[in-house]
Amino acid sequence: MNCQEQVALVTGGSQRIGRALVKGFHARGLNVVVHYRSSEVQALALVEELNDNRPDCAIAIQADLRDISQVAHLGRNAATAFGRLDILINNASTFRSNSLASASQDQLDEQTDIHIKAPYFLVQSVVSELSETHGCVVNVTDIYATRPLGNYSFYCASKAALESLTRSLALELAPKVRVNAIAPGAILWPENKPANDELIKRTPLKRIGRVEDVVAAVNYLVFDATFTTGQILSVDGGRSATTP
């Protein structure tokens, strides 16, 4: 493996926003570690594409982020794959509804496992490598963390906890490691669902976001905002600035 370049690990990196982040880092000359849980075909195809373009620059690692032992395994393997780790993007997420009347313990556990426990223990597993490279962490939260969506209380609460975790870790890991987050609004619609025209009307910029908008925000926090830590950057077309 080429150990000379900076290395980024992106959880949930085989599809959608995660895929765009991986390709963005690769385009900047970084080596990349693509985490996936079940989308093996997509992850391996992406890694093959990147390595065809620049040999030995990308690998894929499978892990179920609900299993803390697998989270630690992911961190160790990612940190040793290229001999260093500079950037951790906690992007993996699950967006599921729940109602008070029918909510279950497993529904709550799923959200907290993915959005709180996995990011925390993944940082724990690679903190020495990130400290050595004076690296950074970017967590992907959601504007619903502060402007909750009805019938998604577990999702919204777990994303709010991830924002709090971002600030706490920023204090704990300073000055060697910066920790920030982005809070996207509507970037990609769920698959097989029509665009929500009413939501677009409530968005000051009158459109949904593009994955390129998220990539640009992450790049800013990673490469440019070197005096910024413990911050949440909204990427939402202005929705968080409006009244409900």
The residue with greater pLDDT, 53 or 197, is: 53
Residue 34: phi and psi, rounded to 5, are -100, 110
Please write the tens of the pLDDT for every residue from 26-78: 999 999 999 999 999 999 999 999 999 999 999 999 999 999 999 999 999 99
C-alpha–C-alpha distance, residues 76 and 116, integer Å:
19
Average pLDDT, whole number, for the chain?
94
C-alpha–C-alpha distance, residues 91 and 139, integer Å:
6
C-alpha–C-alpha distance, residues 186 and 235, integer Å:
9
pTM attached to this predicted model: 0.95
Q: Residue 199's pLDDT band (boundaries 50, 70, 90)? A: confident
Q: What Cα–Cα distance (Å) separates residue 98 from each residue in 26, 44, 104, 195?
A: 37, 33, 8, 22
Q: Which fold has domain 7-241?
A: Rossmann fold (3.40.50)
Residues 81, 7: contact at Cβ < 8 Å?
yes
Q: Is the pLDDT of residue 3 over 60?
A: no
**Which of 36, 120, 152, 155 is an active site residue?**
155
Domain positions in the chain = 7-241
* Residue 155 is among the residues annotated as catalytic for this protein: yes
3-state class (DSSP) for residue 180: strand
